[in-house]
Amino acid sequence: MKKLLLILTCTLLPALGFAQLPAHLEGRMEYPVFDFHPWVGVVKTKAKKLDYDKDLNYKIAIDITDGITDSTQVMGTLLEVARTYNLNIANGVPKRKLEMAVVLHGGAIQGLLKNEAYLKKFGVPNPNIQAIEIMKKAGVEFYVCAQVLAFRQVPEEDIIDEVEITLSAKTALITLQQMGYTYMRITNN
pLDDT, one tens digit per residue, over 120-164 is 999 999 999 999 999 999 999 999 999 999 999 999 999 999 999
pLDDT at 8: 33
pTM (two decimals): 0.86
Confidence band, pLDDT 50/70/90 cuts, at residue 46: confident
The Cα 131–Cα 83 span in angstroms is 12
pLDDT of residue 189: 76
Residue pLDDT, tens place only, 5-33: 333 333 333 343 346 889 898 888 999 99
Q: Which of 15-24, 37-46, 84-93 has the highest mean pLDDT?
A: 84-93
Residue 50: pLDDT over 70: yes
C-alpha angle 21/41/45, rounded to 5°?
100
SS3 of the chain: the string is CHHHHHHHHHHHHHHHHHCCCCHHHCCCEECCCCCCCHHHCEECCCCCCCCCCCCCCEEEEEEECCCCCCCCCCCHHHHHHHHHHHHHHHCCCCHHHEEEEEEECHHHHHHHECHHHHHHHHCCCCCHHHHHHHHHHCCCEEEEEHHHHHHCCCCHHHECCCEEEECCHHHHHHHHHHCCCEEEECCCC
Task: State pLDDT tens for residues 92-124.
Answer: 999 999 999 999 999 999 999 999 999 999 999
Q: Domains, the chain, ranges and CATH?
A: 58-189 (3.40.1260.10)
What percentage of the chain reaches a pLDDT higher than 90? 77
Task: Please report, for residues 21, 66, 83, 86, 138, the alpha-carbon distance to residue 43 in angstroms, rounded to integers and kept in the order given.
Answer: 11, 25, 11, 10, 21
